[in-house]
Structure 1
Amino acid sequence: MWQKDRHQRIRALLSMLGRVSNERIMAELSVSRETVRRDLLDLEQAGALRRVHGGAVLSSDEAPIAERARANVRAKSAIARAAIGIVHAGQTVFVDAGTTTAILADELAKLANLTIVTNSVDVALRLRGTSGPHERVRAMNEVILLGGMLSERAAATTGATTVLDIRRYRADLAMLSPVGIDQRHGASNFDRAEAEIARAMVENADRVAILADHSKIGQRSRITFCAPRDIDVLVTDRKSGEAADLRALKKTVGDLVLA
């Protein structure tokens, strides 16, 4: 079957079902898993679908943040607890916007003497300190919220002003959460503006830590922002050990931390 015909069949399946597994596509088209992977990559780049763990969904965008916030919470919490092990007092840390980094912020709030630079309103609020019934608990870190336009997708600043603001700082560490990470292309995102912010943080940090749960391992989204060789630490959960792509990533990234 020609590639064009395969793509049409996959689009038809998604139009009918809304979500389709790799196994269903393999059976319907009588093709290999590798062929399905390549076709889904091509269709995702064309904006026809969104790849998810085990298949694809009919979508012109990433899943809503409320839906993502409910997914793999236990894994994301384990990743956040493990990730603070690479953070040291006195450091300046970039943190981008995402459901994993929001959980990370709760863990970072337990540390002291950090300067955290973020475009995420949620991260900034979680780090500022909390109010108790009788007194305010003092925030133990300096928190800098980057300027820019407020994104329509999430409670975060975005755009050219945000990218320029990032370049005012030199961070010891960037802690970023992608839509996907694979051994060939590295960390990637669906949204162009979010990818540009992550890329600017990578370029202006001495070290880069990618926080990705098992559903993101081996996945590639539309826009790459950090090549595998530029990832100093990959923090993921132990369920990722079941993914063949993790073995390939281990050979390329600096360090691997399993939470």
Structure 2
Amino acid sequence: MSMSLNDRQQQLMTMLESTGEVKVAVLKETFGVTEMTIRRDLEKLELAGYVKRTFGGAILASKDATLEDRSVVMTDEKSRIGRAAAALVQENDSIFIDGGTTTLYVARHLKPGMNITVVTNALNIALELLEKRITTVVTGGMALETTSTLVGPGAAESIGRMAFNRIFLGATGVSAKHGFSNSNMYEAEIKRMAIAQAAEVNVVVDHSKFGAKELFSFAALDTVHRIVCDQEPEQSLLEACRESNVELLAARD
């Protein structure tokens, strides 16, 4: 870090990097200092561009400006989903994580130094994993500015040569009829390729995606093993998932 941080501030950053969010009240107890001291620490970290202060605490500053607007929406839900999804990963797994704000939280919740190999087509996720000392393979491809993802023939080709124990994909829409969909044609293609190479397919979505249909469908309900979400969908979609043998994992806590 370019700016000189004291031990407490370093520890604070480590906590933020593992959880994505901290609360002043908790930090005060943890470090045994005054609220004022913690607020000054957070102010210093914010000025350095490491964190963004929130009501009662701070979150890690997003490494990717174009994801900013989306990454602030449903932060708690996405963090819970990410934690539940990351818990499915086992030692020695080869996994694929595609780009998106929810999948970023999957990467964020993986244990540092885990003995796994993660393939990703998302530059911000690759950075996150490198900091965690996790073996990371980045696909080739053309970079999409809006999402920090690599897409196109280069990305598809490299994914086609791999086999994954499990994959974690985001989706912009989930509906009974249209299955899993995405608003970007190039990303939908990458998702389809990854599904073809995977033993277990997990889609991570918050409840606002249920019932939504985007232009590009990338998977029917029955091609996915599990949806990791923050709450169950309404009855008709819930029944469609049951019929298609899709496990719903609702991360409530």
Give the TM-score, by structure 2 length: 0.69
Q: CA deviation at 1:246?
A: 2.8
Pick aligned residue for 1:108 from 95, 102, 110: 110
Q: CA deviation at 1:87?
A: 1.3
Deviation by residue 1:196-228 (Cα, 9 ceiling, x = unmatched): 111110111111001011000111111111110
CA distance, structure 1, for counterparts of residue 206 and residue 239 of structure 2: 15
Counterparts of 1:63-78 in structure 2, within 5 Å, are 65-78=67-80
Structure 2 residue aligned with 1:146: 139
Higher relative contact order (CA 8 A, sep 6+): 1
Counterparts of 1:107-256 in structure 2, within 5 Å, are 107-110=109-112, 112-129=114-131, 139=133, 141-238=134-231, 240-242=232-234, 244-256=236-248
Q: Contact conserved, 2:86 with 2:107, CA < 8 A, in 1?
A: no
Q: Contact conserved, 1:109 with 1:126, CA < 8 A, in 2?
A: no
Q: CA deviation at 1:111?
A: 6.2
Q: CA deviation at 1:242?
A: 4.9
- SS of aligned partner of 1:171: coil
Q: Contact conserved, 2:210 with 2:233, CA < 8 A, in 1?
A: no
The two structures, once aligned, show a CA RMSD in angstroms of 1.6
Structure 1 residue aligned with 2:5: none
Give the TM-score, by structure 1 length: 0.68
CA distance, structure 1, for counterparts of residue 69 and residue 243 of structure 2: 33
Q: Contact conserved, 1:217 with 1:246, CA < 8 A, in 2?
A: no
CA distance, structure 1, for counterparts of residue 167 and residue 120 of structure 2: 10
Q: Contact conserved, 2:81 with 2:105, CA < 8 A, in 1?
A: no
- SS of aligned partner of 1:128: helix
Equivalent pairs, count: 186
The amino acid of 1:245's aligned partner reads L
Q: CA deviation at 1:70?
A: 1.4
Pick aligned residue for 1:82 from 52, 69, 84: 84
Q: 1:184 to 1:210 in 2, by over 3 A?
A: same
Q: Which runs of 5+ in 1 are unaligned?
A: 1-63, 131-138
Structure 2 residue aligned with 1:97: 99
Q: CA deviation at 1:66?
A: 2.5
Deviation by residue 1:62-93 (Cα, 9 ceiling, x = unmatched): xx633211111111111111112221111110
Q: Contact conserved, 1:182 with 1:249, CA < 8 A, in 2?
A: no
Q: Contact conserved, 1:230 with 1:253, CA < 8 A, in 2?
A: no
Q: Contact conserved, 1:234 with 1:253, CA < 8 A, in 2?
A: no
Identity %: 31
- SS of aligned partner of 2:145: coil
The amino acid of 1:114's aligned partner reads I
The amino acid of 1:256's aligned partner reads L
Q: Contact conserved, 2:241 with 2:247, CA < 8 A, in 1?
A: no
